[in-house]
A and B are shown apart, each in its own frame.
Chain A
Amino acid sequence: MAEVAIGIDLGTSNSCVAVAGRDGAEVLPNAYGEGVTASVVAFAEDGSILVGNAAKANVIHAPRTTVYSAKRLIGRYFFSEEVKKARAICSYEIVEGPNHSVRLKVRGEEYSLPEISAMILKEMKSIAETRLGHPVTKAIVAVPAYFNDNQRQATKDACRIAGLEALRILNEPTAAALAYGFGKGLNQKVAVYDLGGGTFDISVLEIGKDVFEVLSTCGDTFLGGDDFDDRVIDLLADEFSAKHGINLRSDPYAFEKLKVAAESAKKGLSLEDEVEIRIPDVVQAADGQSLSLERRLGIAEYASLVNDLILRTFKVCDEAMQQAGLVTRDLSGVILVGGPTRLPLIRQAVRDYFQQEPRTDVNPDEVVAMGAALHAASLMAPEQQSFLLDVTPLSLRIGVAGGLAETVIERNTPVPIDQTRTFTTFQDFQESVRIRVYQGESRQAVENELLGEFVFAGFARARRGDVKIEVTFEINSDGIVSVTARDPATDQKASTQITLSSGLREEEIQAILARGHTERVQTPSPLVGDSGPGDLAPAPDEVASADDIEVLPETLPETLPEISPSVSAVGGPSGPGEDPEVCQEADVRPGIEIDLDPSVDELRPEDPDDDLLAAPGSELSVEISGETVDLDTETVPATLRKD
């Protein structure tokens, strides 16, 4: 039997795995018959690790040992805004690891983000293996189109740790377009509106039979369904505080219940015009009295809470359409991806913006995994090809003197691609140069994401300007960046696949693989809650009785006249045959606030003086040579001063 490669959508809140065969792609359901599995990892007291919907149900009992929305943190620096916000809001512990990396501390043990993602990937792998009846070692994993190189690398690391060879890292909207157009011989332009749990992407593609060419992609990695839930959480918490003087946000258990309620309200409003939110015994008052929270929420009020978030997505759409050089009437289709796009509110807004009915024949939760699976199959069996021509979502830059970052490859340039720039030394008899590589849209180096740096030495020592250094920047089809420096005179070379400072080094990955963290992932079983003050977790035998929350894989009931965590919020047991359109959305996310300008304050070097490529004294520097033959003779003042 030919080897099979699977497609995985590793989502912020939910993940999905699919496989493609001769008859197209199909989603592989988990043990509960559900097409999507919550991207939640729970760490039990006995050392076992639980992944999926059961783990998600556990979050109310054990918020400190249940990790959700880890994708918001993967590939990020500890000092980034996103991590700061997550630290303020997430109930699990986020600590700093080596080189500004992020680690999660659970039950006394530290885990890197790729390790956490690997646990989810491993679960998806095992779902596939169970369904297919044989081992699976190859996969295509989809990531948000707007993911930078650090986030892509970290996802690749996660695959390795999970024992999966990542054949490709595919952009989610591209995967969705593939699922939409594969094998249909279409010739049309489409937009993919992808509002996920934590990120928003828009891609504009031109499909020419078997070729899927991305014309532009834009996104916001700080905007997703989580943010919609946060608005409801804020509303509920503020009202509760005004009424009872108790801040529900400061009680992790109450906060998790708020989150479940907010998420359920969002799903309820996808079906009904009004929902009732009921959280019995949400918290105990100072006098020991148990307080409940009850409130009706109508679609109009919800709209007013989230309207600015929806508008933000269309600002991003404007950008993408402009970059593609198209107007909305050029588009033949609009594909919706991501659970939040089930909201009638969003569908209507999308309809208004694009002036056409969005496609409803693709399941927004499954379309990405199916596209990834189709491409995986096409890689394994070269006779049924599809060609994906993607673009790089972010400009690639090199740090130059003055704290600036010069563009080398503009955003929305097709990949794979390489570009060579010639630099020269800045001082007489300079021995080495430091090359810093960034991604982002700002001329100010610190406002971009630092991908990495390396020192190139070994070129001929000569007077300044006499040395030529060729630096080649490459972005491959996965969107992964590598940089090579070369002295054309001596052919001396130094190269690096830019590895992020916050990621895992090769030795660390090896150590993790040797340690076999992920081997401990268990099949679903009830978990014991955190111990500690304010612990509301029922004993394991009480869990099954579902007096408050059920630890069962959740789906949504067919209709939701009321929302209350007392069963409907987390849901009843699911079985096969339920309508996936209604049932398959399940997400729990941290209440992270959004940043209006994601490019600002992303990166703050520890040493403020360290961000100058051409710093005084022995610090080595490069400047852009004006002698290159290309047009690109733009130079920056290679000054030794800081303004």
Chain B
Amino acid sequence: MATMPPAELRALAKVLDELDYYEVLEAPRGASGSALREAYHGASRRFHPDSNRHLDVDLRSAIERIAKRVTEAYSVLRDPRRRKIYNEMLAGTNGVRRLQLVESAAAASQRSRNEREGLTPHGRRFFAQAAADISRGDSASALRNLQMALTYEPENALFQAKLAELRSQGR
């Protein structure tokens, strides 16, 4: 039987959010891929929901919470790319312990690149004109062009920011 004493389980579930993935898996930070897998298998033996059907509801839900975090930890750490990002986050000062699995950093940067220029042909065209207006110092024309650009892309954060900036300068 692989489970921990109930008191320990409850305690672990309680502090789960304060543990980083290495602590969840009980693996050292420098653990190799196969060591991580061993740690994952070990943690799964301890916390797999299947092995705890006989327990009380509150203990089962504690174990399920831990099991999900174990899976999450392993999903991040087994992937070298995610692990690198995670290690950098851990080294940071903001106390982040969890990483979203769906990494969209690349897509996000693609999007911001798109936003810089605009997502639609007309949006791009008016925004480019507005940029040219600004560099020429023609803020009235820039304002009009930005507003036009925004009618095509009302949610473009960059367009909005530019417009706000222009308006605040105008005051």
Contact = CB atoms under 8 A, between A and B. Distances in A.
Partners in one complex: yes
Interface of A: 167-168, 206, 208, 210-211, 213, 375, 378-379, 382-383, 385, 387-389, 406-410, 413-419, 421, 474, 476-477, 623, 626, 628-635, 637-640
B75 A388 contact: no
B74 interface: yes
Interface of B: 1-2, 37-38, 40-41, 44-45, 48-51, 53-54, 64, 67-68, 71-72, 74-75, 85, 94, 96, 98-105, 107-108, 111, 119, 153-157
A470 to B, nearest CB: 12
A634 B111 contact: yes
A211 B104 contact: no
A631 B76 CA distance: 12
A167 B50 CA distance: 9
18 contacts: A211-B45, A378-B50, A385-B2, A387-B45, A387-B51, A410-B101, A414-B75, A416-B64, A417-B71, A417-B75, A623-B155, A629-B96, A631-B99, A632-B102, A633-B104, A633-B108, A637-B153, A638-B155
B105 A631 contact: yes
Contact of A168 (B50, B94, B96, B99): B50
Nearest to A614: B155
B102 A408 contact: yes
Nearest to A640: B154
Given A382-B54, A416-B68, A389 B154 contact: no
A479 to B, nearest CB: 13
B45 A477 contact: no
A632 B50 contact: no
Contacts of A626: 157
Contact of B71 (A206, A382, A415, A631): A415
B85 A631 contact: yes
B80 to A, nearest CB: 11
A626 B155 CA distance: 13
A166 B54 CA distance: 15
Contact of B1 (A210, A383, A408, A639): A383
Given A414-B75, A640-B154, 14 more contacts: A167-B53, A211-B44, A389-B40, A389-B41, A389-B44, A416-B67, A418-B72, A476-B49, A633-B104, A634-B102, A634-B108, A634-B111, A635-B108, A637-B156
Contacts of A633: 104-105, 108
Nearest to A383: B1
A308 to B, nearest CB: 34
Contacts of A206: 37
B48 A387 contact: yes
Given A382-B1, A416-B71, A637-B156, A210 B45 contact: yes
> Chain A CB within 10 Å — which of B41, B74, B99 has the most?
B41
A631 B105 CA distance: 6
B126 to A, nearest CB: 16
The 7 A-B residue pairs with the shortest CB-CB distance in the complex, in nearest-first order: A634-B104, A632-B100, A630-B100, A211-B41, A414-B71, A634-B107, A634-B108
A477 B63 CA distance: 13
Nearest to B74: A414
From A388, A410, A631, residue with most partner B Cβ within 10 Å: A631
A141 to B, nearest CB: 15
A408 B102 CA distance: 6
A383 B41 CA distance: 17
A375 B53 CA distance: 13
A476 B38 CA distance: 22
Interface centre among A213, A382, A388, A421 (most CB of B within 10 A): A382
Contacts of A408: 102
Contacts of A407: 102
A631 B94 contact: no
Contacts of A409: 101-102
B132 to A, nearest CB: 24
B1 A387 contact: no
B157 to A, nearest CB: 8
A401 to B, nearest CB: 8
Contacts of A389: 40-41, 44, 48, 71
Contacts of A382: 1, 51, 53-54
B29 to A, nearest CB: 19
Contacts of A410: 101-102
A634 B98 CA distance: 17
B50 A474 contact: no
Given A387-B48, A388-B50, A634-B108, A639 B155 contact: yes
Given A382-B1, A416-B67, A417-B75, A635 B99 contact: no
A169 B17 CA distance: 29
Contact of B94 (A167, A379, A629): A629
Contacts of B111: 634-635
Contacts of B50: 168, 375, 378-379, 385, 387-388, 477
Nearest to B67: A416
Contacts of A388: 50
Contacts of A632: 100, 102-104
Nearest to A401: B155
Contacts of A631: 85, 99-100, 103-105
Given A387-B45, A413-B75, A414-B74, A379 B101 contact: no
A477 B49 contact: yes
Contacts of B119: 637
A474 B68 contact: yes
A511 B71 CA distance: 38
B25 to A, nearest CB: 12
Q: Which has the most chain B C-beta neighbours within 10 Å: A416, A421, A639?
A: A416
Given A379-B53, A416-B49, A474-B68, A387 B44 contact: yes
